[in-house]
Structure 1
Amino acid sequence: MTPDHLRTALTDRMTQEGWRWLDGACASVAADPALVGGLFPLAGRRCGRVRLDPGDPYGWTVDDAARCLLLAALPLTGTSLLERIGALYRTGDAAERRAVLRALPLLPVGEGALPLVRDALRTNDTRLIAAALGDYATDHLDADTYRQGVLKCVFTGIPLSALPGLSGRADVQLARMMAAYAHERTAAGRDVPADIGPVLALFPDVTVPGHGDLEHVPTATTDRTGPREA
């Protein structure tokens, strides 16, 4: 996502009043970055909270996109930017924290925001976990933490399709971990999440003990009902 992509995605999702507020808020934080602390929490009420894709419970919302545009308007870099977004994350509610995580690929923060990603992965908020494993984590998160994050998605019912960089970050060790999990599930007479299959398919030499591959392992396809709204 780029700011232009976000604005295009918002085209039919916001009222004229919402656009006026957002454009004014972006201009305000560009002139005075300290104002973002007061404007950031207001985005949901002023711009809306509907999903950009109504069928995707882990996808972007209008307030996600609006808050990302606010952060992208900040004329800050380096430590000053990290301190500002860190404060917004620490003091924000779940929706505000999610927006900070989604904004990271738009901001010149290098690897400096990885503590925020790791903090989100320690929570039990499924939408926060999914947002943490977005494009920024794909590019910067270390392999072991990324693998553990993907497994947490499997454990908590987050569909792996919500992770945009998984096919590029998956490795044989992750496949082995998933195969071991699938074996535990089948040994206990429980279904295996269906989206483990495509990851194992990337590494055909990795098999589920006692089953070979997932072709004949019972899989669950309808038990992921999505997160509770923030």
Structure 2
Amino acid sequence: MTEKLDFIGGILKENGDGDNWSWLEQQLAALSADPDTRKLYMTYTLIGRKFSASAVNWEAVKPTDPDAFLPGYLLMHRPGMRELARIYLLVGVLESNEAFYSDKVAKIIELADTSELVAFLRFLPVLPGCEAFSFAAVEALRTNIATVFDAIALDNPYPACHFNEQQWNQMYLKAAFMQRNLGRITDISHRANASLARIISDYAHERWAASRDVDPMFWQPVGQFLNEDLLGDMERLLQSENPAKQRAGYLSCLASDNPQAKKLIAGHPLAKTYEKEPFTWTTLNS
């Protein structure tokens, strides 16, 4: 048993019914020893009957390596027993024989109901060979169901690691359009790009023309790409009466190599505030 399975299995054993845990362990052992499509689908279905959606006592979970990705990710999202049992099964079969089971797991994802799909999307990063399931992540960008969209877009490293530029930009703009918490998108600065900066400016101008507000967090990716048009946007933010918008403009200019951006903030009142007590995008609305 790998460290990943050992960690998940230990939580299931401590929090669930002993007989059901033994059954799941036996099913995974059989599926690993003798790959079987029908048995995989049957086991997945029976987990829904044998494991309830009850909460796990995550406060009692003590990872041996607190800095490891899996423990931290599970502790952040806190799946229930049924979700965790399904994660255990899918991780186990993919670790045992990814070549055989990958397309079978993909089929399970395609047929999932909404609650199952939310779990799949949220825990894609822990699945071996997770890049094979990008179709589900990209398809989730088209939904207007907030729980489904949030599962892939928020607090999830999968898009930053596996989306191409177009997919990433689509997700970011959709998150803003759906008024999601942009601060929960992972690795925004790392995935910033010139096309997205232009899209952000265009979208903001559409909102302003319609007398609609723009979330100050929306501007986080633009700092590295401040051209003449975007500098005008920064000037507008810096002159705003809204403190969060001023800070967004200041941080964007601070991240820029454009001398004109530095001039915009050189004499701004926020310069002294930042020098005394630096603020970040994380504390933008504080």
Shared fold by TM > 0.5? yes
Aligned equivalents of 2:236, 2:88: Cα separation in 1: 44
Alignment of 1:174-185 (within 5 A): 174-185=196-207
2:176–2:182 Cα contact (<8 Å) kept: yes
Alignment of 1:50-69 (within 5 A): 60-63=77-80, 64-69=83-88
Q: Deviations over 1:54-74 (max 9, x none)?
A: xxxxx7242344432332122
Distance 1:188 1:111, change over 3 A: same
More displaced stretch, 104-113 vs 187-196 = 104-113
Partner of 2:186: 164
Aligned equivalents of 2:158, 2:8: Cα separation in 1: 20
Q: Deviations over 1:79-129 (max 9, x none)?
A: x33322222222222221122223322233263212111211111122322
Partner of 1:17: 16
Return the offset for 1:23: 6.5
Aligned equivalents of 1:218, 1:165: Cα separation in 2: 29
Alignment of 1:80-229 (within 5 A): 80-109=100-129, 111-133=131-153, 134-205=156-227, 207=230, 212=235, 214-216=237-239
Aligned equivalents of 2:123, 2:78: Cα separation in 1: 13
**SS in structure 2 opposite 1:167?**
coil
Q: Deviations over 1:185-223 (max 9, x none)?
A: 12211111232132334544462756635334577x9xx
- Identity among equivalent pairs (%): 23
Larger RCO (alpha carbons 8 Å, 6+ apart)? 1
Alignment pair present for 1:28 and 2:21? no
Correspondent of 1:38 among 42, 45, 65: 45
Distance 1:172 1:188, change over 3 A: same
Residue-pair matches, total: 211
Aligned equivalents of 2:195, 2:241: Cα separation in 1: 23
2:118–2:147 Cα contact (<8 Å) kept: yes
Q: Which amino acid aligns with 1:73?
A: G
Aligned equivalents of 2:27, 2:128: Cα separation in 1: 20
Aligned equivalents of 1:210, 1:108: Cα separation in 2: 43
Correspondent of 1:76 among 88, 97, 100: 97
- Determine which structure has more spread, i.e. the larger CA radius of gyration: 2
Unaligned runs of 5+ in 2: 32-38, 60-75, 245-286
Aligned equivalents of 2:127, 2:195: Cα separation in 1: 31
CA RMSD of aligned residues (A): 3.7
Greater share of residues in helix: 2
More displaced stretch, 117-126 vs 80-89 = 80-89
Unaligned runs of 5+ in 1: 54-58, 222-230
Q: Which amino acid aligns with 2:106?
A: G
Q: Given the two structures, how large is their TM-score scaled by the length of structure 2?
A: 0.59
